[in-house]
Amino acid sequence: MAYRTYLMVCAGTGCVANQSMKIKDKLESEIRKRGLQDEVSVVTTGCNGFCAVGPLMVVQPDGIFYQLLKETDIAFLVEEHFVKGRPVKELLYTPPKEKIPIPKMSDIPFFADQTLIVLRNRGLINPEIIDESIARGGYEAIAKVLTSMTPDDVIREIKASGLRGRGGGGFPTGIKWETCKKMPGDVHYVICNADEGDPGAFMDRSTIESDPHAVIEGMLIGAYAIGSTEGYVYIRNEYPIALERLQTAIKQAREYGLLGKKVFNKDFDFDIKVVRGAGAFVCGESTALMASIEGRPGEPRAKYVHTVERGLWDKPTCLNNVETWANVPQIMLRGAQWFASIGTGDVTADPWGGSKGTKVFSLAGKVNNTGLIEVPMGITLRKIIFDIGGGIRDGKKFKAVQTGGPSGGFIPESLLDLPVDYEELTKVGSMMGSGGMVVADEDNCMVDMAKYFLSFTQTESCGKCVPCREGTKRMLDILEKITVGEGTEEDLVLLEELSNMVVESSLCALGGSAPNPVLTTLKYFREEYEAHVRNKKCPGHSCRKLITYAIDPQICVDKGHGCHVCAKNCPDGAIIGESKQVHTVDVMKCGKCGICYDVCKFDAISVE
Amino acid sequence: MGKIAIEDLAKIQEAARYKIALRQGAGRVRLNVHMGTCGIAAGARGILTEVMKEIESRNLHDVIVTNSGCAGLCSQEPMMTVEVLGEPAPVKYVLLTSEKVKKIIELHVLKGQAVREYALALGSERTR
């Protein structure tokens, strides 16, 4: 008998880490216990996107969304919902500051404002079963391409769609394909860059985890257009679930004859090899990635000769990011016109004239709804952060959003109405990047944030170019000096000078963009640098050397009656005072950990 | 698994159509079997199974089956509410048997003719 209900349990990395597989097992055993195993089916899907409230599950066909599940909830849930037909209110999603839960997933603002192309199958299919992907239109595009389109038709369509590289650069995909195709030689390669390394970014991982066949199909179409028979996916070894699902998908596609000799029995051969990367950030750069596949150290080279001409093993190579490839099948099926109708600008005359389609972002940092989102190009940052993201956590004030990972820049509140578009983001000193989006609130120190991102790129610099290797190190030293209160006005000038030097004289984009966090914070949050340098204060209250904690004696006694909680929790024994008496902070002993500030229920403790 | 041809894609899609429609929450008709204690005692589980069998044997890809709690009219159980997209109001059927279920699916679900003699009333209680 057919199932009447499907329980779509999220099995993305985030939910799996929160024990969603145990929840799946428990659901199955409780369902069996009640004899419902022929009516209710449990399906593990890729990342649902709303990672903040995982482990989570969606009940279909009703679309009921359950969140923050625990194994102990399951017996009650199964009895109530699947036997008696009553959704369990306590496990539904309730927006912050509201009281009434929203039962249906489609009514939750986080989902309602998204547009899904790349992630269209998330939460709907089990990514480990190829038939489920086919059931949602998988491999229909390559079938269409092989039966009714020439390679030039495909390239024309991609060009007309306005698709641009989703890995960060935004290079028009159609032009890349066309150039690569024109290069002489009988061996051409296609590569999928799945070496996602930005801190806080997980778009590519989730795309592969929820729909690996979309990526494979995109590569098939690209290979057909370019005239390639061999492809590579370069994926981080730290992505075990994505890696496994990709390998499963490739295996199943081979068994179906969708990869290998004579795809669909047509005159077209293509197969994919998976290469695991060891996690060096620089290997996300195309030439370094290719060097790594060849077995050489992952170092970029100068690109006087582009990789489309001489790439992997000096053969013409077309490299695109996971998300770019995953867009391709839908463009082939639904047409360039449809794709170009989403987004900004006009690409009919100038391929750089607009940003088309959607973009996947991983929303992280101080927002309520952290997770994976896909939005149309041109949406404002405000809409992403405040509507989809549900605003800032704990009612704090927004300070900045960092787009584009460690190579991107910080964007202040005054620019929140900026449309998300390749050119617009670049204009303000940031970039689209691969889609990391980290939100900072009033408690974040911008100098410290810049230092964090720079320390990442500094460590990940491959060391080939002196400006990047040494320049970022010196910049980091200066930032360190500033955060401990030893910075001077001259340091700020030097910092800016060094930044520009590193940008201009590095070979690859790692060095070319590493100073972006510093440059944008200097531009938009200069007053914070000045507070550190001139007044030796940290406005975000996070640079330990520059802050002091103090207890208001009046509040401590009048409201708190000398509750002594701060003293009990202080790891340094820095709080003096007996129970029911006034307490004070011994500044010499205080380690500035802020625990007292957090535990005081009476707001008697202040930080300066 | 063996190699597939382009025509096989449509076959795989067809075989999974109902499954995918349910997962997308898309359907033309929604059949809601009331499964309160009263309903279960009066045989609602059998009715639910009967409904599923009918859907399966008639290959209906656009019919969603759900269950809900007691509808408040325990003496008339087993009950089922039929909602058809585009019809002004749902119809509640009472005192169901497997024969009645067959007829309701045959006439109401497939042909859009409500079976007046089994129906209690038009309309539904608010479910929030």
Indicate if A188 and A329 belong to the same structural domain: yes
Whether A487 maps to a domain, the answer reads yes
Structure token pair of residue B37: 């204690």
Q: Give B5 to chain A, closest Cα distance, Å.
A: 5
Contacts of A565 (CB under 8 A, 6+ apart): A599, A600, A601
Question: What average pLDDT does this structure show over A503-523?
Answer: 92
Q: Using a CB-CB distance cutoff of 8 angstroms, which residues of chain B are in contact with residue A83?
A: 35, 40
Q: What is the pLDDT of residue A245?
A: 95
CA angle in degrees (0–180, nearest 5) for A116-A120-A125: 155
How many domains does chain A divide into? 5
Asked whether residue B126 carries a pLDDT value surpassing 60, the answer given is: no
Expressed as residue numbers, the domain containing A566 is: 548-607
Count of Cβ atoms closer than 10 Å to residue A192 Cβ? 27
Q: To the nearest whole angstrom, how far is the Cα of A85 from the nearest Cα of chain B?
A: 4
Given a cut of 60, is residue B125 above it in pLDDT?
A: no
Query: What per-residue confidence (pLDDT) applies to A1?
Result: 67
User: Binning pLDDT at 50, 70 and 90, where does residue A219 land?
Assistant: very high
* Residue A252 contacts B, CB cutoff 8 Å: yes
Give a yes or no: residue A543 inside a domain: no
- pLDDT-derived band at A119 (thresholds 50, 70, 90) equals very high
Question: CA nearest B51 in A: which residue?
Answer: A4
> A78 — contact with chain B (CB < 8 Å)?
no
Q: What is each CA distance from A172 to A160, A320, A459, in whole angstroms?
A: 10, 11, 31
Burial class (CB in 10 A: 0-12, 13-18, 19+), A568: exposed
pLDDT attached to residue B124: 58
- Higher local confidence (pLDDT), A64 or A1: A64
How close A257 comes to chain B (CA, Å)? Answer: 5
Contact across the interface for B1 and A136, Cβ inside 8 Å: no
Of A4, A82, A125, the CB nearest to B65: A4
Average pLDDT taken over every residue of chain A: 93
| Domain membership flag for residue A154 | yes
The reply to whether A281 and A144 lie within a common domain is yes
pLDDT at A358: 96
CA distance A109 to A583: 46
Residues A313-362 have pLDDT tens digits of 999 999 999 999 999 999 999 999 999 999 999 998 899 999 999 999 99
Q: Is the pLDDT of residue B1 over 70?
A: no
In a domain, A112, yes or no: no
Whole-number pLDDT of residue A480: 95
Size of interface A-B (CB pairs under 8 A): 106
What is the C-alpha to C-alpha distance for residues A515 and A519, in angstroms, rounded to an integer? 6
State whether A410 and A385 are in the same domain. yes
Q: Is residue A54 part of a domain?
A: yes
The reply to whether A560 and A505 lie within a common domain is no
Q: What is the mean pLDDT of residues A545-570?
A: 91
Structure tokens at A436: 């990391």
pTM of full prediction above 0.95: no
CB distance A490 to A482 below 8 Å: no
Least confident of A81-85, A258-262, A275-279: A81-85
Handedness of CA B14, A63, A358, A188 (dihedral sign): negative
A549 within 8 A of A588, measured Cβ to Cβ? no
pLDDT score of A303: 84
With 50 as the cut, is the pLDDT of residue A412 above it?
A: yes
> What tens digit of pLDDT does each residue of A20-32 get?
999 999 999 999 9
pLDDT tens column, B15-57 = 888 888 889 887 889 898 988 888 888 888 888 888 888 888 8
Residue B1 sits at the chain A interface (C-beta within 8 Å): yes
Check whether residue A371 and residue A320 sit in a common domain: no
Whether residue A591 is contained in a domain is answered as yes
- The C-alpha atoms of residue A408 and residue A456 are separated, in whole angstroms, by 13
* Mean pLDDT (whole number) for A385-395: 93
Pick the closest to residue A124 from A61, A74, A70 (CA basis). Answer: A61
Does the pLDDT at position A143 exceed 90? yes
From A283's Cα to the closest Cα of chain B, the distance in A is 36
Residue A489 lies in a domain: yes
Here the CATH number for the domain that contains residue A556 is 3.30.70.20
Of A535, A565, A581, the residue at which a domain comes to its end is A535
CATH number for region B27-122: 3.40.30.10
Question: Does pLDDT of B127 surpass 60?
Answer: no
Residues A19 and A165 in one domain: no
The 3-class secondary structure across A413-458, one letter per residue, is HHHCCCECCHHHHHHCCCCCCCCEEEEEECCCCHHHHHHHHHHHHH
- The number of helices, as runs of H, and strands, as runs of E, in chain B is 6, 5
Give the C-alpha distances (Å, rounded to integers) separating A211 from A86, A195, A205, A216: 32, 17, 10, 9
| Residues A437 and A452 reside in one and the same domain | no
B65 lies within 8 A of chain A by CB: yes
**Minimal CA separation from B122 to chain A, in Å:** 21
* CATH number of residue A516's parent domain: 1.20.1440.230
**Whether ipTM exceeds 0.95:** no
Q: Does B12 touch chain A (CB under 8 A)?
A: yes
Q: What is the pLDDT of residues A160-194, one digit of tens each?
A: 999 999 988 899 999 999 999 999 998 999 999 99
Query: For the domain that residue A64 is a member of, what is the CATH number?
Result: 3.40.30.10
Same domain flag for A510 and A587: no
Instruction: Write down which residue in A340, A375, A393 finishes a domain.
Output: A340
Mean pLDDT, range A54-61, rounded to an integer: 92
**CATH assignment at residue A246:** 3.40.50.11540
Question: Taking a C-beta distance cutoff of 8 angstroms, is the pair A234, A275 a contact?
Answer: yes
Are A212 and A330 found together in one domain? Answer: yes
Q: Does one domain contain both A408 and A468?
A: no
Percentage of chain A lying above the pLDDT 70 cut: 100
Q: Is B28 an 8 Å CB contact of chain A?
A: no
With cut-offs at 50, 70 and 90, classify the pLDDT of residue B128. very low
Question: Testing the interface with B: which of A84, A92, A147, A250 to mutate, by most B Cβ within 10 A?
Answer: A84
Q: Which of A120, A137, A128, A147 lies closest to A253, judged by CA?
A: A128
Asked if residue A67 is part of any domain, the answer here is yes
B5 part of contact set with chain A, CB < 8 Å: yes
Tens-place pLDDT, residues A435-452? 889 999 999 999 999 999
